[in-house]
Homo-oligomer: A and B are copies of this chain.
Amino acid sequence: MGFWKSLFVNSDATSSPKSTQSSSVLAEVQSDDGSTRIFFSTDRDIDLYELEELCNAVGWARRPIRKVKKAIQHSFLVVTMWEQRGSRRRLIGFSRATSDHAFNATIWDVVVHPEFQGQGLGKALMKQLVKKLRSEDISNVTLFADPQVVDFYRGLGFMADPEGIKGMFWYPD
């Protein structure tokens, strides 16, 4: 697919790619010729097998569908990214955040399909997620970054170990 030259991000897209999702479309990114568009959604009604396929494409370990469903249900926010060509849409990105709905949020499972990487779409997806969290008055937006994506998140305004705060994981004995 081509590079998205006329990338624009807005928070009140006027046209809806799918009637049932009209309330949850966050923004759109359009290509020059307008034949294909990328849109974001907060709709949680996701085909979990399509999501599994997306996660497989980036080499993530397979997880039980039942648990993925539960995790999506109990996430504070889910932002997905879709490619639409005509009436056909395809899940090309996913991200979600847990939160206490008041102070803190933690971002998990950020994924962009390999075919769509390197074009600023992951950045656009993350911006949507953070923007939405901030609009909900969440002041502390956090995540745990694998070494190879630390710089990606740095470029988005995330700081590693600010004031010496360390991310820690519990490991069973």
Contact = CB atoms under 8 A, between A and B. Distances in A.
Interface of A: 63, 67-68, 70-76, 96, 98-104, 106, 108, 130, 134, 140-147, 150, 153-154, 156-173
A106 B98 contact: yes
A161 B166 contact: yes
Given A142-B170, A157-B172, A171-B159, A101 B74 contact: yes
Copies of this chain assembled into the complex: 2
Nearest to A129: B170
Contact of A98 (B100, B144, B156, B160): B100
A119 to B, nearest CB: 22
B164 A144 contact: no
10 contacts: A71-B101, A74-B99, A96-B100, A142-B144, A144-B168, A145-B165, A147-B163, A158-B170, A159-B169, A167-B168
